Amino acid sequence: MKKEIIINSIEDTIALGEKLGKELNKNMVVCLEGDLGAGKTTFTKGIGKGLDICEIINSPTFVIMKIYNGRLPLYHLDVYRLDNESGDDYLIEYFEAGGVSVIEWADNISDLLPADFLKISIFDMGDKMRKFVFESTGYIYDLLLERVEL
C-alpha cells in the first residue's frame, strides 16, 4: 500500500508523526528516507509524542541509537555513517525487542532490515513544505496505514 501527503509546516510534520506514533505497536519498524534537513528527526519527535515520550528527542547521528521510554520504548537509529558491510548486525536485535524502531537513512542497512516494515520517504518541496510518501511492505503495515488518517 502506498499513501502520500503534503505537509506545510514543522508543526504539521510533528502532528503527522504523532498520529502515526499513536497507532504503532511493539516490534514495528519505521524506515525514514530523505535528504539532510528533510525532517526525519522532526517527524520522529512526533512519533515520540504519539508514544507518550516526554524526553526531548534529537538526532542520534554520532551515537547511532538513542532509546526513549514511553508507552513503548522508542529505538531511534541514525545509520547515516553505516552500510551493509559495517558489522553492525547487533542492531537487528532491537527490531524485536518489544519497542518501535525508527531508522533514519534505513537504505544504508537494507540487508539488516526485517522483511516487513513501513518506509517513509520525505521530500523537501521548499520553505517548510514536505511531501511524505508512506509505503508498507507487509499486511501489518497495510493495516497501520488504513488506521492512520493522512
**pLDDT at residue 31 in the model:** 98
Mean pLDDT by 10 residues, the chain (150 residues): 95 97 98 94 97 91 88 95 73 94 94 96 93 96 91
Between the two ends of the chain, the Cα-to-Cα distance in Å is 13
Residue 12 burial by Cβ neighbours in a 10 Å radius (0-12, 13-18, 19+):
middle
**CA distances (Å), 33 to each of 54, 71, 113, 123, 139, in order?**
25, 25, 14, 9, 21
Which has the closest alpha carbon to 3: 125, 127, 119?
119
**pLDDT at residue 89 in the model:** 76
Which of the following CATH numbers is that of domain 2-147: 3.40.50.170, 3.90.79.10, 3.40.50.300, 2.60.120.620? 3.40.50.300
Phi-psi region of 10 (alpha: psi -120 to 50; beta: other; left: phi over 0): alpha
Task: Give me the residue spans of the domains in the chain.
Answer: 2-147
Contacts of 58 (CB under 8 A, 6+ apart): 41, 66
